[in-house]
Amino acid sequence: MIDRKFKISFEFAQKQKGYLLITSYILITVLSIFSLALFARHNIFLQAGERNQNRLIAFQMAEGGVDLAISSLRTNPGYTGQGYTALGTGGGYSVTVSVPANQNPLIRQIAAAGFSPSNNTNARAYETRPVQTYVKLGQKPVFDQAIFSTHQLDMSGFVLVHSYNSSV
């Protein structure tokens, strides 16, 4: 014989008419939306990280172009720069050296642009950074090679220092 308790619960289940199914569909839909939002957010963070990395690389490439221009001007005061130069797969730089208008003819304006991952504007996470500086020709630098620090300087490996008041 069927127990009365079982009979009541069976009748209750018959009266539900698919509410559990609809509730589970709604729950699955909400979880799917949250999952898609999480994946989209993750993708945005990856792209932002890649762009930030390329921004730093592009700046360093431009700084390398400025260093090259200064070095070239020491040996050739007529140096005018060079077009895009690739450095490995990380990017490259271009340099333009000019005499600014209405300035001392010994002053040179160095305009460098760094590119990462290349100079192709359609490249993924493309970044470019311009750097501009001025140098005066004919002045011998106080130091050919120097490192300056206002607080602390840590050196490791083979260190040989010939200087006044040095503790190394």
Statement: residue 54 has pLDDT above 60? yes
State residue 143's pLDDT score.
65
Give the per-residue pLDDT at 22: 86
Helical segments of 16-125, H only? 19-75
pLDDT of 122-168, one tens digit each?
888 889 999 999 888 876 666 666 666 667 766 777 776 666 655 54
Q: What is the mean pLDDT of the chain?
A: 83
- For residue 105, whether the previous peptide bond is cis, meaning omega lies within 30 degrees of 0, is no
- Return the percentage of the chain with pLDDT > 70, whole number: 76
